[in-house]
Amino acid sequence: MEERERRRVVVTGMGLITPLGVGVERSWEGLTAGRSGIGPITRFDTTGLETTIAGEVKDFDPLRYMDRKEARRTDRFAQFSVATAAQALADAKLEIAPDLASRVGVVFGSGIGGVSTLVDNILVHDKDPRRVSPFMIPMMIVDMAAGEVAMKFRAKGPNMGTVSACASSAHAIGLATDTIRRGQADVMLAGGAESGLIKVAIGAFNAMHALSRRNDEPEKASRPFDKERDGFVFAEAAGCLILEELAFARARGARILAEIAGYGATADAYHITAPPEGAEGQVRAIRMALEDAGLDRERIGYVNAHGTSTPPNDSSETAALKTVFGEHARKLAISSTKSMTGHTLGAAGAIEAIICILAMRDGILPPTINQEVPDPECDLDYIPNASRRRQVDHSLSNSMGFGGHDVALIISRWAA
């Protein structure tokens, strides 16, 4: 069989919702300013919880993106998905016309999907089973983010939801990229959304000793790579990217923002929550992504780290970067933007891919805030506390998830 030239995949639009604001530029302004989006939880009564802080999205109005009836029948995580897809399509100046619909697909990831809908209906069921909503199931299942986006914008190509904990939307971008490369679509909407900020979720993460308890200083609670880190900060958010096959994007005169150059995905096969020493699964994922991109390791200039602010993650990710990059690890500019957004679970991969694109677009590398006390096990350049002006051409975004999922994405600056 004749070998075909590999189809290249580029980014033409982006949408973003984070605790720093609704919209790409509002979030980006907060990130480059080193501003924290973390504060006291206002969504529910936190009495009895060890952690009373989180990254809440405070200015989101679903009625800007759907009518009132649709909003009532859609969980907040899927509302976020539709909203960021609308933002990204507008950014890409792309309308999904009927003759294009079958060539446009959707892959959206989420770690826990409509868990708030599930819990609300369990409470209703305990009082009166007849009052359970007929929309409970379609509101709670993770794939409904992709389903709602497809129905809203009439995208009839490949459609799926990815569930791999905090690697979910990084997997979504990788799978969407592969779908275009295989020729099964010309356009993919890829992203992730999370809005599981409910009392039982905070309590469950507290039971695992995973969350920061720095309640008196919420803006300082997420402190990746800092010696005094004591856990991650739960946050809600969403991100969406419009991916297009290069020739298709050029033919319609699209503005190209970046290229998805490499994708690597592996498993630790080690522990349900902890990475192995040295994060060997992440090492293999990064090397796989470099090979996929056809890049030498010295070409990577910026790393958006998974950087959760938990003791095991940050030291093992540092070790992984040293293993992969050798002496070049000392020259890498690395940041964990979770220091400002909090940990957005299944949405993190998409959000951080977008951040890599913005960093390369503007020549500004966002900081890791709250890095104040050096940790001997975390001794690389994490862009502490203030953003840095530097132009880089190739960025790496790392994602890891409970269950041992590892993803690496290499994103390249587009030079017209």
Distances (CA, A) of 271 to 19, 134, 168, 267, 275: 31, 37, 18, 10, 7
Pair type for strands 237-245 and 104-109: unpaired
Query: What is the identity of the amino acid at 48?
Result: G
Nearest to 13 by CA among 191, 175, 160: 191
Strand, coil or helix: what is 338?
Answer: helix
Please list the active-site residues: 166, 306, 343
As a residue count, the chain comes to 416
**What is residue 6's DSSP assignment?**
P
**Residue 41 and residue 56 in contact, taking contact as beta carbons nearer than 8 Å:** yes
Interacting residues of 238 by C-beta distance below 8 A, sequence separation 6+: 15, 16, 17, 77, 80, 81, 83, 84, 191, 192, 193, 194, 195, 347, 350, 351
Provide the 3-class DSSP secondary structure of residue 256: coil
Strand partners of residue 252: none
**Measured distance CA(44)–CA(10) in Å, rounded:** 41
